[in-house]
Chains A and B, each alone.
Chain A
Amino acid sequence: MFRVPLLIALTLIIAFGGGILSSLSALNASVGFGAIRIGVWSAFPAAQTAEADPYAKAHRAKAGRLLYGSAEGLTFTASADDAGQRLTGTCTYRLSGRTPTARLWTLYAADGDGLPLVASADLPTSLNSQTVLRQHDGTFSVTISPTAKAGNWLALPDTGAFSLVLTLLDTPAAGSTGLIGLDMPGIETLGCGNE
């Protein structure tokens, strides 16, 4: 007697539940298609344009950020080390190598919402291409750690999972997707806890 209403209810539950949950998870999982990935880093050079895919547009409208225009810069984010482990605030990492061609770059650690992490006003929680110390060949090495380190040190506050944000300013990389052959710095885990 109740079979037909039951079947209709089942259909509606699958349709609405599945539709809403899949949309939410798709928006939380990714910024859209069209990412360029170099090692652990990913960037979305077309996310701010009219050509962005519907997922990128939906994500952009939901996040409400001021994105970089193609002549301004390109933002790369990494939330895992070279071994694929998530970056966490209790570990020490070494970021080393070189960036693709760019006039300037900035580096900071960000929380889950993409906001910069602030340890203390006196600690170096960000670096840029003008303040970083380099080796003879132009490469650089940054130690990302909650405790003070010699050389380039990016201070981490007391935090859980975080991501690294490397913004290339005025870079030809933003105008093309032919980035695949270029280098981005690697992220190597040096140790966790009090090691």
Chain B
Amino acid sequence: MSRLLYAVITGVFGAVLLHIIIILGIPHFTGKDAYTRVVAEGAPFVFHRLEVKPDTTGLSSLDPYMRVAVCHFDISRQPLSLVALGSGSFWSISLYDKDSNEVFSMNDRTSVAGDVDVLLATPVQIAQLRKTPIPALAQTILVEHRGTTGYAVLRSMVAQPSFEAEAREFLAEAECLPFTGR
């Protein structure tokens, strides 16, 4: 009888251990986390528009009033420059690392002059930029990213159908390019 009890207790301990391993391990091998899906959208350094209906990667804009574009990047060689001309209505941008942890986020009210102008760089690249400042970057928001890969999500709100064209243009003209000097 006591052996049966031992077996059950050992089993419960094993279950707890396995539970912890599964919960901690899942982020590394689901294969359908946000970063993997964004990468599956297509080429890097381009904003990909998302539709209301989930596309083949499973990503969608979700909120009926939000138009969303995503872009994935690798800044190991050059910083990433995110530029878009503000449309007047609400927009927001957020940057995530490859584990989908937020690195930086802002909206049109927290931006300079209502435009998207962000430079994402590694600590080494930031140090280099500080050493030899580029005048064109005086208004740019510098963001430090400890990793090298990740993705950016750009959202624009369409509160009423008449804002649609503006939001489409805003997302279509947004740039997500490696920074090669201005």
A interface residue numbers (CB < 8 A to B) = 3, 7-8, 10-20, 22-23, 26-27, 48-50, 52, 54-55, 57-58, 60-62, 64-73, 103-104, 106, 108, 114-116, 125-126, 128-131, 165, 167, 169-170
Contacts and interface: CB of A to CB of B under 8 A. Distances in A.
Contact of A115 (B10, B15, B60): B60
A167 B32 CA distance: 24
B15 A18 contact: yes
A26 B23 contact: yes
B84 to A, nearest CB: 15
B119 to A, nearest CB: 17
Contacts of A64: 30, 32-34, 36-37, 58-59
A130 B159 contact: yes
A48 B102 contact: yes
B166 to A, nearest CB: 14
Interface in B137-154: 153
Contact of A104 (B10, B110, B159): B159
Interface residues on B, range: 35 or more
Contacts of A170: 90, 92, 107, 109
Contacts of A60: 27, 33-34, 100
Contacts of A103: 90, 109
Contacts of A55: 23
A61 B33 contact: yes
B15 A14 contact: yes
Given A7-B4, A128-B159, A15 B18 contact: yes
Contacts of A131: 159-160
A21 to B, nearest CB: 9
Interface hub of B36, B59, B64, B95 (most chain A Cβ within 10 A):
B64
B2 to A, nearest CB: 11
A61 B30 contact: yes
B159 A14 contact: no
30 contacts: A7-B3, A15-B10, A15-B11, A15-B14, A16-B15, A19-B14, A19-B15, A22-B19, A23-B22, A23-B23, A26-B19, A27-B23, A48-B94, A48-B102, A52-B101, A62-B30, A65-B34, A66-B62, A66-B68, A67-B34, A68-B94, A71-B105, A72-B94, A126-B63, A128-B159, A130-B159, A131-B159, A165-B63, A170-B90, A170-B109
B96 to A, nearest CB: 7
A114 B102 CA distance: 21
| A-B residue pairs, 7 tightest by C-beta | A69-B105, A15-B14, A14-B11, A19-B18, A18-B15, A69-B94, A61-B27
Contacts of B4: 7, 10
B12 interface: yes
Contacts of A22: 15, 19
Nearest to B106: A71
